[in-house]
Amino acid sequence: MTIGALLLGSAALWAQNPTATGTINAVLINKSGISLVFDTAVGGVALGSTGSSAASLNFGNISAFGPLSPGVSRPVVGAGSYTVSTLFDVRVDEGGLTSPNYTLSAQLAGPAPVGFTYAVDAVTLTTASQTIQTNGAYGSDVQHTLNLVVSTAAPGAGGPAVGTPVTTTINFTATSN
């Protein structure tokens, strides 16, 4: 009889659904900030990694005369140089700020290759930070133009190497006003 009481008692103990509780005290600090992304502009070259802060832009094969890649234009052909350009968009979003707008600046990560000059809109770029725009609107794409001026001088006489791919990095910074 004792064995039957133990068996019945242990089944009753298992049916009680034991529980345990705990608490997490979460601490966070909400920070204000801004983000900058590059988007493909209508009529411009399709950006690689569009919608990110690390996009790429490929002008393709360029020359003073002849066909250019889609989205690339040749607004100037002069005696000593020619210019190719394309459109791109910059979108800056903000959160937790009372800033009405932002300032956009840009600079080359290293010296421009021989025979090339880069400009965003009408601002020639160097390795020093240059102001591109002082009143950028948050939350929408703002269109800019990347211009590449190419010397027509011969290689070794101030002109660029011919047939060699050229890669240049341009660093952009958006600062809330």
**Least-confidence region, from 11-20, 28-37, 116-125:** 11-20
Assigned CATH for 31-176: 2.60.40
Q: Residue 19 has what pLDDT?
A: 85
- Parse the chain into domains and list their residue ranges: 31-176
Q: Residue 25 has what pLDDT?
A: 84
pLDDT tens per residue, range 31-64: 789 999 999 999 999 999 999 999 999 999 999 9
Listing DSSP states for the chain in one string gives: -HHHHHHHHHHHHHTT----------------EEEEEEEEPTTSPPPBTTTBSS-B----S--SSS---TT-EEEEE-SSEEEEEEEEEEEEEEES---S-EEEEEEESSPPPTTEEEEETTEE--SS-EEEEEEEPTTSEEEEEEEEEEE-SPBTTTBPPSS------EEEEEEE-
